[in-house]
Amino acid sequence: MSKQVQDAYVVAATRLPIGKSGRGYFKNTRPDEMLVKVMQAVLAQAPGLDPAAIEDAIVGCSFPEGEQGMNIARVASVLAGLGPTIGGVTINRYCASGITAVQMAADRIRVGEADVMFAGGVESMSMIPMGGNKPSLSPLIFERDENIGIAYGMGLTAEKVAAQWKISREAQDAFSVESHRRAVAAMQAGHFDAEMTPFDVVERTPNLTDGTVNVKTRTVKLDEGARPDTSLEGLAKLKPVFAAKGSVTAGNSSQTSDGSGGLLIVSEAALKRFNLTPLARFVSFAVRGVPPEIMGIGPIEAIPAALKAAGITAADLDWIELNEAFAAQSLAVLNDLDSKGIVLDRAKVNPNGGAIALGHPLGATGAIRAASVIHGLRRTGGKYGMVTMCVGAGQGAAGIFERL
């Protein structure tokens, strides 16, 4: 295990329901409002904690501009009532932004620099599109062939992974059907209740007859994307989206989404000072780079490194959140690791479904899935859980937690 001064403990972890971008729950909800709700919710889970004890709020966001710009971490911490003495920093590692925020917050504690930290993630793909409002690629990218993959759309990288690792269209669609099946079953069983914070969505509609505004509030409690009617027959009818003769479709890709999640992470001294109950211990983290044009296989490199740092094996993992950016890359990761003797039990990989069914709000996903792992382990009595994902421009990340 990596050297550290002290352990970092998670004492609160929650997330909002995930909404469909552009047409779903949060299409008109600002991302800072979502993040404020998450911050307030994690504080409510630690009633003995003095908010002023939080040193910093580290928040992941894939495209921190527009409505989620202006250092949304600091803005939200003030709006949430955490107090003016608390810092705030917004960080970006694309899809791994949220889990990187958790790692950075935990590391501040593990090296003895802080006692209480907030870590989270937020993303509104309704308000800030993939690539941001003004994508601008450096001309240097196109001067060397090995760098061109940086400019590829994520779907094209999935096509390249499918081709190189020989992942068939049928396998991708079957994986996607199972993601929806597990998600729907988990919802029906109430398995998301412990990790979820309901959100009151306010809808305002102008009345053109009398010039007033009609205000309607509804409470959302479940992720919006899971479809109980998903079938192999239905998915087989979808055309490829990213390559004319490809195999990656809207049905076997993650959904573009809006959402937010957050955790409170503390030292042992803070546990005693504020009489807090630890949910989990942050164990290890690893990030590795891979060729940008096959960015989806990033977890192949990050997972072994995170396991080694934790001093455990794949067989010790009781819950694995493998972000389903695409069915093709998820299957490629699982199959490749199998071939190397690092076998991830399929029953323990995304037991409540993954991003294909539940959605993928980019920079928020790592924090959201951290909450899923922690509460999933507590519900099932498992010991070790992992959050892992591929990252745009060619990276993989993995973080490991231990239930307490």
Just list the catalytic residues: 95, 360, 390
Both tokens assigned to 47: 């009633």
Nearest to 155 by CA among 355, 329, 1, 25: 329
At residue 155, φ and ψ (nearest 5 deg) are -60, -40
Put residue 359 in one of left, alpha, beta given phi > 0 → left and psi -120 to 50 → alpha.
left
Task: Please give the Cα distance from 102 to 123 (Å, whole number).
Answer: 16
Task: Please give the Cα distance from 226 to 353 (Å, whole number).
Answer: 9
DSSP letter at 131 equals T
Task: Please give the Cα distance from 59 to 4 (Å, whole number).
Answer: 23
Please name the residues in contact with 277: beta carbons below 8 A apart, sequence gap of 6 or more. Answer: 11, 271
Nearest to 360 by CA among 95, 98, 181: 95
Please name the residues in contact with 333: beta carbons below 8 A apart, sequence gap of 6 or more. Answer: 296, 297, 299, 300, 303, 322, 390
- Residue 379 CB-density burial (10 A; 0-12 exposed, 13-18 middle, 19+ buried): middle
Residue type, 143: E
Q: How far, in whole angstroms, is CA 203 from its chain's centroid?
A: 26
Both tokens assigned to 158: 């999935």
Task: Please give the Cα distance from 198 to 220 (Å, whole number).
Answer: 6
As beta bridge partners, residue 88 has: 57
